[in-house]
Structure 1
Amino acid sequence: MSVLSDLKTVAVHRDFRKLFAVRLVSQCGDGMFQAGLATLFFFNPQNLATAAAVAGAFAILLLPFTLVAPFAGPLLDRWRRRQVLLGGNAIRVVLTLVLAVIMVTQGVSVAVYVLALVTLGVNRFLLAALSAGLPRVVPREQLLMANTLTPTLGAVSAVAGAGLGFLIGAISPAGVLKDGLTLTVAAVLFGCASALALRLGKDQLGPDRAATGRGRSWAEVAQDLRATAVDMADGARYLVRRRTPGMGLGVMAIHRFLYGVNFIALILISRNLLNDPADAGAGLATFGLLAGLSFAGNGLAIVLTPLAHERVRPSQWIVVCLLIGAVSQGLLAITPAFAMIVASAVLLGLSVQGAKIAVDTIVQRDTHDAFRGRAFSLYDMLYNAAFAGAAALAAAVLPDEGWSALVFAVLALVYVLLAVGYRAGIARIDDTPREVPVPQPLDEPTDLV
């Protein structure tokens, strides 16, 4: 089934179209925002791109939200998710404009890192809300199709936004306004995404149960944070007891860790191995090309995953994707020739996106709506933790050129072991979720804004 045909099938639902529009515009802004950060942190001629420096930048941006992100899930299970999309994007407008002003007037400072950190954290929160709300706008039998299309086409939108961001930077005249222009345009897109969320009804994306929280004292806020911690622990226990979503999140976290090491290596290879390290612009162009090819692999996942799921279960497709990941790293272990790097990037893009579509489907299919927000918040936490852990490992094992035959050979071996271990676990439980009692309903939903 073609992508266009799948999109026509789910796009007949008006509410899906509304939610999908929010995702596309929001993620286009994400891509533009992240392009600005990539240029600033990794391909600035004034910065030395060493393995430790690149890993440190990733740790600064991701590690704090590994600790904060779990608290988003219980809120997604308490607050109206439509209001989260509306308010979250509006907050990003303000943060991004302030960041642009600081970059123009003061240059790179601690405030830039802090604001970038907060803005990316809000983005993770919004992506979790988009995923948690998807089952409310498409029929259950079309959920796999929607899961296949929306995250990947959202990623395509992010790539388009990144490309537009790089183009704006390339054609902008040199000067103090150059650094802030891309971020200003990204803020406009965030504002458009916030406005598009107004087309959805307040209660349309759920959840069915939520708790009110107006006029709380500081003591009540502290109590709510403790309750949130308890809720998150309950959500984790639920996913583990439910079996299939817990195993899916676990395998995707490890997959993301391995991908993170490869991603940091790709930055270093682009700037320091394939190009003169002093020519940061050439390094950025090479990295953009390789990243685009990796997203072409994501596009293959859009086409192949629905075809695969007509013949095998999502869990079996995850095993196949992990083995594809092993092949991608094995190719890199042979030689750092450009053709081999290109083939590896495409295969790894297919592996990551194909596995993610399957895991998203398993989590949404096998998780009760009362826990779905927490499930995707845990997903987000594991995503950040895996990337932060990958940064720490990359700093320790990768040379500044980014290529090591031993490192890529080990990554290939770990992919194989992960595929074998996950296959054995699924076979042991017969790929069937266990029934888990669902708690009593909470109070009525409350507005976020």
Structure 2
Amino acid sequence: MTTAADSATSSTRRVGARRLFAGSGFRRLLASRLIAQWGDGVFQAGLGGAVLFNPERQADPAAVAAGLAVLLLPYSVIGPFAGALLDRWDRRRVLVVANLVRGALVLLTVAAVGSGMEGVPLYTGALLVMGVSRFVGAGLSAALPHVVDRDHLVEANALAATLGAAAAAVGGACAIGLRGVVGADNAGSALVTAVAVVGSVAAALVSAGFARGRLGPDECDEPSQTLVAVARGLGDGARAVATTPSVAAGFVALMAHRVVFGTSTLAGVLLMRYAFGDQGPFRAGMAGVGQAVAAGAAGMLVAAVVTAPLVNRVGRRTAVVSALLTAATAQLCVGLCLNLPMVVVATFFIAGGGQVVKLCVDAAVQQDVGDEVRGRVFALYDTLFNVMYVLAISLTAVVLPQNGYAPTLLVAVASVYLVGMAGYPLMDRRQGPRPRSDPPEAISPRP
């Protein structure tokens, strides 16, 4: 009898980046992804600078929370619909048209930034841009099996996700650097944000190089009504999670992390804007946000390297609890010693610990959930992942002072990790003992 873990192992053969790049379809699809995510990085950093670090604007906790929610809500609201629609429409056309639409929406948002608009007009433009970006990202992911052999999908996903995250970070760095040259006022912020149009147009041109129908879908077996397909998919996903203890336990652990991470993010942005000053090599303001983002990215990269050997050595359950304990300790240190260097250093451990948890949850879904409902579980997973973050920053905005300096709150919120540390093994034990090691190939980031 073949187990899910055995299937994961047998269906994955490593071929190396050189063999993957030998395929022209993979190269083109990856190029489209990297260009698009570079543009996303430019847009997010440019808009973040315009709203949060513009001397002509004042950013209170509610404004920061609204900005962060705008950037993430599309991943929750549009994600489930994207899956249903992408199983009906030619994905090559979707990538071309969606990228061009995104470019046009970026220009509309740029006009709002340059004219000094605030509130609903600005956030509506940003929400539309990020919504279309989510549609593009989902299309790229859905198209991958059409340019890579099934046996190599895990490896291709890991490579695409890692390089895509790096491209977004480079885009953000480009925006921060350009901001230092053209200025931080409304005109300068508009110019920086406008550069994101280059990514949208270039990604559309690259995607247009595919033949019609090359990226699927091959057939459609979803209900004809999109809303019915979405509702049924989320319901099926919820039932699968409820009947799979390892996945349900992972959701508890990951949602606990997202609550803490959301609170810390909102506080960190306000601290960089109002409370902190430069301290040695550490910088406040937009540059400080960039340093914190870089520290978090480094922590996630380390997590991607160490998670598989850690799970092989101590088992998935111990790995998750250890990662939550590491993140909780770092969060406590931030609250007890609230200064600029501590925030940057702690971000490395909090983001890294959260990524270990996420990779373990990904592996649980990949191995323990049947293929016939796995996509629907991931749709529910992505929705909850971002909703919990937005909910956390929204609630935090109500109680956080304008300068973000709230050490008591930052200490108290670390206790949420205790919920994850207690709930994960408690729920996971319902499944009984499992082998101490999971296939290392299955523990890879998804795009």
Shorter-normalised TM range? 0.7 to 0.9
| Residues 333, 342 of structure 2: 8 Å contact kept | yes
In structure 1, C-alpha distance between the alignment counterparts of 2:315 and 2:292, rounded to whole Å: 31
Alignment equivalent of 2:384, drawn from 382, 385, 393: 382
Deviates more, 1:79-88 or 1:261-270: 79-88
Instruction: Tell me the alpha carbon deviations over residues 69-115 of structure 1, each in whole angstroms, 9 at most, x when there is no partner.
Output: 43233234444555443333232112112222343356446332211
Deviates more, 1:149-158 or 1:32-41: 149-158
| Residues 73, 378 of structure 1: 8 Å contact kept | no
In structure 2, C-alpha distance between the alignment counterparts of 1:176 and 1:427, rounded to whole Å: 55
Equivalenced residue count is: 416
| Residues 73, 375 of structure 1: 8 Å contact kept | no
CA shift, 1:37, in A, is 1.3
CA shift, 1:206, in A, is 5.2
Matched, 1:85 2:95: yes
SS of the residue corresponding to residue 192 of structure 2 reads helix
Structural mapping, 1:196-207, within 5 Å: 196-199=206-209
Alignment equivalent of 2:105, drawn from 95, 108, 112: 95
Instruction: Tell me the alpha carbon deviations over residues 216-243 of structure 1, each in whole angstroms, 9 at most, x when there is no partner.
Output: xxxx8xx543443233323332343355
In structure 2, C-alpha distance between the alignment counterparts of 1:418 and 1:411, rounded to whole Å: 12
Unaligned runs of 5+ in 1: 214-219, 433-449
CA shift, 1:262, in A, is 0.9
Matched, 1:263 2:273: no
In structure 2, C-alpha distance between the alignment counterparts of 1:208 and 1:318, rounded to whole Å: 38
Structural mapping, 1:34-433, within 5 Å: 34-59=44-69, 62-63=72-73, 66-104=76-114, 107-108=117-118, 110-134=120-144, 143-172=153-182, 177-199=187-209, 209-210=219-220, 223-275=225-277, 282-311=284-313, 316-366=318-368, 371-430=373-432
**Structure 1 residues 64 and 147: alpha-carbon distance in aligned structure 2, compared to 1, 3 A threshold:** closer
Instruction: Tell me the alpha carbon deviations over residues 239-268 of structure 1, each in whole angstroms, 9 at most, x when there is no partner.
Output: 433554454445333322221111111101
| Residues 253, 423 of structure 2: 8 Å contact kept | no
In structure 2, C-alpha distance between the alignment counterparts of 1:395 and 1:78, rounded to whole Å: 40
Amino acid of the residue matched to residue 358 of structure 1?
A: C
CA shift, 1:183, in A, is 2.8
Instruction: Tell me the alpha carbon deviations over residues 345-403 of structure 1, each in whole angstroms, 9 at most, x when there is no partner.
Output: 11112123333333334434555565455444323322331122111221134333324
In structure 2, C-alpha distance between the alignment counterparts of 1:422 and 1:411, rounded to whole Å: 18
Instruction: Tell me the alpha carbon deviations over residues 147-205 of structure 1, each in whole angstroms, 9 at most, x when there is no partner.
Output: 54432332221111011012222212688653332233211112222333345566565
| Residues 326, 413 of structure 1: 8 Å contact kept | yes
In structure 2, C-alpha distance between the alignment counterparts of 1:239 and 1:200, rounded to whole Å: 37
Deviates more, 1:229-238 or 1:382-391: 229-238
In structure 2, C-alpha distance between the alignment counterparts of 1:83 and 1:320, rounded to whole Å: 45
In structure 1, C-alpha distance between the alignment counterparts of 2:365 and 2:138, rounded to whole Å: 12
| Residues 76, 374 of structure 1: 8 Å contact kept | no
Matched, 1:23 2:33: yes
Instruction: Tell me the alpha carbon deviations over residues 300-332 of structure 1, each in whole angstroms, 9 at most, x when there is no partner.
Output: 223223433554555654333222211221211
Normalization by structure 1: what TM-score? Answer: 0.79
Amino acid of the residue matched to residue 340 of structure 2?
A: F
| Residues 245, 427 of structure 2: 8 Å contact kept | no
Q: In the alignment, what sits opposite 1:217?
A: none
CA shift, 1:283, in A, is 1.6
CA shift, 1:65, in A, is 6.5
**Structure 1 residues 339 and 101: alpha-carbon distance in aligned structure 2, compared to 1, 3 A threshold:** closer
Deviates more, 1:256-265 or 1:311-320: 311-320
In structure 2, C-alpha distance between the alignment counterparts of 1:166 and 1:226, rounded to whole Å: 43
Amino acid of the residue matched to residue 360 of structure 1?
A: D
In structure 1, C-alpha distance between the alignment counterparts of 2:395 and 2:184, rounded to whole Å: 37
In structure 2, C-alpha distance between the alignment counterparts of 1:80 and 1:254, rounded to whole Å: 38
In structure 1, C-alpha distance between the alignment counterparts of 2:332 and 2:209, rounded to whole Å: 48
Amino acid of the residue matched to residue 271 of structure 2?
A: I
State percent identity of aligned pairs.
35
SS of the residue corresponding to residue 46 of structure 1 reads coil
SS of the residue corresponding to residue 414 of structure 2 reads helix
CA shift, 1:208, in A, is 5.6
| Residues 248, 427 of structure 2: 8 Å contact kept | no
In structure 1, C-alpha distance between the alignment counterparts of 2:144 and 2:319, rounded to whole Å: 22
| Residues 86, 198 of structure 1: 8 Å contact kept | yes
In structure 1, C-alpha distance between the alignment counterparts of 2:424 and 2:25, rounded to whole Å: 36
| Residues 300, 350 of structure 1: 8 Å contact kept | yes
**Structure 1 residues 82 and 329: alpha-carbon distance in aligned structure 2, compared to 1, 3 A threshold:** farther
CA shift, 1:274, in A, is 0.8
SS of the residue corresponding to residue 415 of structure 2 reads helix
**Structure 1 residues 126 and 337: alpha-carbon distance in aligned structure 2, compared to 1, 3 A threshold:** same
In structure 2, C-alpha distance between the alignment counterparts of 1:254 and 1:72, rounded to whole Å: 26
Unaligned runs of 5+ in 2: 1-14, 435-447
CA shift, 1:407, in A, is 2.3
Amino acid of the residue matched to residue 254 of structure 1?
A: A
**Structure 1 residues 174 and 302: alpha-carbon distance in aligned structure 2, compared to 1, 3 A threshold:** closer
**Structure 1 residues 312 and 393: alpha-carbon distance in aligned structure 2, compared to 1, 3 A threshold:** same
| Residues 263, 393 of structure 2: 8 Å contact kept | yes
Normalization by structure 2: what TM-score? Answer: 0.79
After superposition, the CA RMSD in angstroms is 3.4
Amino acid of the residue matched to residue 176 of structure 2?
A: F
